[in-house]
Chain A
Amino acid sequence: MVTNNLGRQLPETFFGKKVQPYQDPYSHKPVGNHATRPLRRHNPGDNKLLRGLREAIEASGLKSGMCIATHHHLRNGDALLNLVIREIDNLGLRDIRIASSSVHPVHAELIPYIQKGVISGFECGVNGLIGEMVSRGELNCPIIVRTHGGRARSLITGEVVVDVAFIAAPSCDSYGNMNGFFGPSACGSLGYAFTDAQYARQVIAVTDNLTPAPLTPVSISQSLVDYVVEVNSLGDPRKIVSTTTQITRDPVGLQIARYAAQVIDASGLLRDGFSFQTGAGGISLAVAEQVRRMMSQARIKGSFGCGGITGYFVDMLEEGLFRTLFDVQCFDLKAVESIGRNLNHQEMSADTYANPFNAGAMVNLLDCVILGATEIDVNFNVNVNTESNGYLLHNTGGHSDAAAGAKLSIITAPLLRGRLPIIRDTVTTVTTPGRTIDVIVTERGIAVNDHQQELKQELIRRKIPVRDIHELRAEACRITGEPRPVEFTDDVVALIEYRDGTIIDAVRKVKE
């Protein structure tokens, strides 16, 4: 057992891999070069278009014990990962690791293949039932949860070698040029797949919309793609949108959004050149709406919106409130529709978005980011991975990346969720270190981290309800009663990797 700088107990190794404990957000820097892959030679007349997925898997040389990847731009509407695993099973391959950019509840269909030994581990976080079953000890399948930037990093450094990447390509030509803008399964940005296309040892484009070569515009180039196959459907883009991607109507959420907007106003960052990221949750969008109003009224011209892009950001672009959007992932169909049409709505790779080990990620230029939380501790550490019942239910997304990059990281969360107090003495799991979090906004007050004294004084001067975080914690527990701690066994079922590859926490099997 080793202990990292946040006091979290970690195993020394995890399924053969040595665990490097987290130290701090900014100093870890490995020595080395980019990962490489074999050269190719394609002569005129060589054919890339194969008859089907099975033939492509065979052509790629995928063998038992190897690692595959898909992207999650179709989110809960993705059909490809399930399809690929069914074919892999049909071919009799076993012990396959999955290094997709994320896994969604729709991929619960993979569970029998985990039980059967087709899938032996996840080099990525998971949303939904798989994580819950792993937490209960009902599935034996190690998981390493990565941030969006951290996943790009792990491919680029070669820590994770993807043997075959299957890239869902909503528009694709027979020579492998692709984009996500058009077609029946259009998902917009292909940001997460860029890294796969560049670093996977073999790259297979899978499309349900084969167009004559050359396709235009090209997002991922033919020069990176080994094979092309057609399938009936990549999935259902209507399921990109989860139910939460609308401005909240809940009065508690709206109060939080108003306070968050006041914090942004007080920070002094809301001036010409302002850059901004929010998630797609109801409170985040309500904050975006407030910011939009403040920018319009004060005639502020922002520079860029970043991250997962929603229709609200598209509106702000089209109203001239931002010069450009950098889009790693479209969160709704309005964003999908915009990225194929708006020159200033730019597609961005996960590497450019958030990899800490390149010459400068986009998150480094962010003024302000609005993030959510499942739990927050009195040291401002945030959990978004495990629920308070101890189950691993959520992937990190860009949470830790944006928090580390932005000048002002604001967590918006209700003080209570049902009966659960959100601010705790310790969180079940640390996802994002408190050092990268500046302000916690709840409906009952705002807690400001110690390193933001100036902002704290300004908020007090403006009579915005600043509260000590311990006070907020005590108030929450006065209302809910003191929860009994969830009990865990010693078995580590998942690691939470920080964006730099060090391990910030371990997830243990829940004692039922």
Chain B
Amino acid sequence: MEIVRKAQAGTMQSSDLMVFLEPAPQLRVEIDSTVKKQFEHLIRRQVETVLERFSITNGFIRVSDRGALDYAIAARLETGLFRACADQGELS
């Protein structure tokens, strides 16, 4: 899948996160989190796992996390990708 338009998913509530996506020539992931010191490595790993699963190779993905657990990160990123990518039908 390819990110072709700007999109976002999530909320800024505690234990949730916002994901912002936009097209970019390379793949870049930026993570901001209230628990960045303790969990940046795990948040990044989860984001990368999802991106790999959808074969995302370029785009700028910004995560603004408020202490979400892994399943919430996956869900919000998947929704964001669904909104940002061209071939929405293939998402399953």
A interface residues with partner B (beta carbon < 8 Å)? 388-390, 416-420, 479-481, 483-486
Given contacts A419-B35, A419-B38, A484-B39, list 20 more A-B pairs with CB under 8 A: A388-B38, A389-B35, A416-B69, A417-B67, A418-B34, A418-B68, A419-B15, A419-B67, A419-B69, A420-B35, A420-B38, A420-B67, A479-B69, A480-B39, A481-B70, A483-B35, A483-B39, A484-B37, A484-B40, A486-B38
B interface residues with partner A (beta carbon < 8 Å)? 14-15, 34-35, 37-42, 66-70
Considering the complex, give the chain A residue whose CB is closest to the CB of B35.
A419
In the bound complex, CA of A419 to CA of B31 (Å): 15
A483 vs chain B, min Cβ distance (A): 4
In the bound complex, CA of A419 to CA of B68 (Å): 6
In the bound complex, CA of A418 to CA of B15 (Å): 5
**CB within 8 Å for A419 and B39 given contacts A479-B69, A480-B69, A481-B70:** yes
Main secondary structure of the interface of A (DSSP, over half): loop
In the bound complex, CA of A416 to CA of B35 (Å): 13
Residues of B within 8 A of A479 (CB): 69
In the bound complex, CA of A28 to CA of B51 (Å): 59
In the bound complex, CA of A417 to CA of B69 (Å): 11
Residues of A within 8 A of B40 (CB): 484
- Give 22 pairs: A residue, B residue, CB < 8 Å, sorted on A: A388-B35, A389-B38, A418-B14, A418-B15, A418-B35, A418-B66, A418-B67, A418-B68, A419-B35, A419-B38, A419-B69, A420-B35, A479-B69, A480-B69, A481-B39, A481-B70, A483-B38, A483-B39, A484-B39, A484-B40, A485-B38, A486-B37
Residues of B within 8 A of A389 (CB): 35, 37-38
A217 vs chain B, min Cβ distance (A): 44
Residues of B within 8 A of A388 (CB): 35, 38
Residues of A within 8 A of B15 (CB): 418-419
Q: Which of B37, B40, B42, B70: most chain A Cβ within 10 A?
A: B37
Considering the complex, give the chain A residue whose CB is closest to the CB of B42.
A481
In the bound complex, CA of A416 to CA of B68 (Å): 11
In the bound complex, CA of A480 to CA of B43 (Å): 10
Residues of B within 8 A of A416 (CB): 69
Residues of B within 8 A of A480 (CB): 39, 69
